[in-house]
Amino acid sequence: MNLQSEARSHANMMKSAGSAVAKCVSATQMSAMRILSTAALYLLLAAAFQTSASATASDWVEVEGGRVRLVTAGAPDAGGTLQGVLEIDLHPGWKTYWRDPGYAGVPPQIDVSRSINVTAAEMRFPAPERFDDGFSKWAGYKHPVAFPVTFTLKTPGEPTQIEADVFLGICETICIPVKGTFALDPANDPDNADHQALVTAAVETLPGAARPDFGVTVRRADNKQLTVEAALPGDAAPAEFFVAGEQGYIFGTPERAEKDGRTVFTVPIVERPDTKPAEGALHYTLSTATGAVEGTLPYP
């Protein structure tokens, strides 16, 4: 596949992701020590692709820095949920992003609105790492990673075709946006043992649910910052706190402090909506050397 030709032939599709790409490029130009216009860099590096619906797993799609595929496993349950994974096999030295990678990055996204008998797809994320490239700090992964995806069917038992538009970023010294469509037939080989094992392994990497002895509690929230206190089992030294900006919120890098034997993280609020959202919550992950948990926090 000629990725440059594919990128040019999908120009209209790429425009819809332009704002995220511009943000990604602006933070990586200096680290690459070259200045190119956003539009030119996008045409040169963006990878666009489409797979056909013939199995429960798409073909691997080779992109700069790795390869990507979408997999489903098993039959939908009685409630109409079907399990799958978005698998990113990174080359050594390459990285990809968490659900909120920071200012300079492209968070993984999946849109199934063009699917048949599929109403939603929820992606979940293993605990990320914090990276500092000298120009920005961001959250992501430096090894191959699989993001569990739960698909919700409109009518269990009815024919289903998944057409998933995926957008993500892979980076080394330059961030490469990857956008394309994976088409799957979940009824074709649903009992594939390899696919089942892949989904099971991906789910096992997820953080556990936050609990009273391992999680965070909001101590203060105003227009400029969010402060939480962390409850940590065992050694608190390697603890990291990640919070995802949603609904118009953008957060800076959490700053950690030890106060009277308590571990506290203060998160700058870089941007916020004019009105606090009436529904929903902020997703967070708290990780240590021995494990991680995830939970939600009220909007500040």
Structural domain harbouring 283: 208-297
Residue 74 sits in the same domain as residue 132: yes
The answer, yes or no, to whether residue 127 has pLDDT greater than 70, is: yes
Residue 235 sits in the same domain as residue 197: no
Domain end among 166, 181, 204: 204
| Contact predicate 96/168, CB 8 Å | yes
Q: pLDDT per residue over 85-126, tens digit each?
A: 999 999 999 999 999 987 768 899 999 999 999 999 999 999
| Contact predicate 162/184, CB 8 Å | yes
Element of type H or E holding 290: none
Residue 101 sits in the same domain as residue 186: yes
Q: What is the pTM of this model?
A: 0.83
Residue 285 sits in the same domain as residue 196: no
pLDDT number for residue 176: 86
Residue 100 sits in the same domain as residue 51: yes
Residue 191 sits in the same domain as residue 279: no
DSSP 116: B
Residue 150 sits in the same domain as residue 223: no
Residue 66 sits in the same domain as residue 197: yes
Residue 179 sits in the same domain as residue 228: no
Domain count, the chain: 2
Residue 23 sits in the same domain as residue 151: yes
The answer, yes or no, to whether residue 32 has pLDDT greater than 80, is: no
Residue 238 sits in the same domain as residue 145: no
Taking each helix axis from N to C end, the angle separating 38-45 and 18-32, rounded to the nearest 10 degrees, works out to 90
- Spell out the residues 6+ positions from residue 11 whose beta carbon is closer than 8 angstroms to its own: none
